[in-house]
Amino acid sequence: MTSQARDMAAGFEAARERMIQEQIADRGVKDPRVLQALRAVPREAFVDASLRDRAYEDRPLPIGHGQTISQPYIVARMCELLGLQGQERVLEIGAGCGYQTAVLAQLAGTVYGVEIVPDLAQRACDNLATVGVKNAVVDCFDGTAGWRDHAPYDGIVVAAGAPRVPVLLLDQLADGGRLVIPVGPREDQVLTVFRRRGDEFESRREAPVRFVDLVGRYGWGGRGPAEA
């Protein structure tokens, strides 16, 4: 590694630490496993080269196709709300460039990511390989109906705003499992947590958020199972 490359790596590491402290820990995310997961994943590896100097800003960044890499705080909070301990099976809908997939892979046993845009799905796979993630896979299809092949899941996270809760995702939760999803109108969603208790579901509204649209049959422009 050249001295220039070492300086650049040290700069990114310092920026990552500032992000963890100022944007995440100071705003209430306290789970040490989540903070360590964010420390372990180089966010700069998941953004376009032209945006790497902005990788640790407190905002989402464009990744093409009208999609974004989520704000670091939101990634951290959604991961914390899943309450992972290390051995769980997790489904992520809206993998994008793979950043949150990589963070989840630090927290869970196995992560299954779904991305509907082929170019982004391939980019996520490439990025995960680049940073050495081996316990996560990303495939390309409409994830609004979940991924039944690997269900049930101890946690499901949806990184896109849904007009309603896709009931097929709830159906794929294991007993005790949690679904974290932004729900509501395009401009005014609420980050919501659902927890399965047998055949019942508890729900808790967390915070107002604004995500890109959940695209697919049971997202925006689609119809729910009861209407199909």
Residues forming the active site: 70
Query: Using only C-alpha atoms, what is the Rg of the chain?
Result: 17
Q: Give the 3-state secondary structure of residue 219.
A: coil
Please list the helix, strand and coil fractions of the chain in percent, rounded to the nearest 5, in that order.
40, 25, 35
* Distance separating alpha carbons of residues 59 and 26, to the nearest angstrom: 16
Place of tokens 């604004």: 210
* Distance separating alpha carbons of residues 105 and 41, to the nearest angstrom: 10
* Distance separating alpha carbons of residues 183 and 15, to the nearest angstrom: 32
CB 216 within 8 A of CB 223: no
The CA dihedral of 67, 129, 145, 74, to the nearest 10 degrees, is -50
Q: Give the type of residue at 216.
A: G
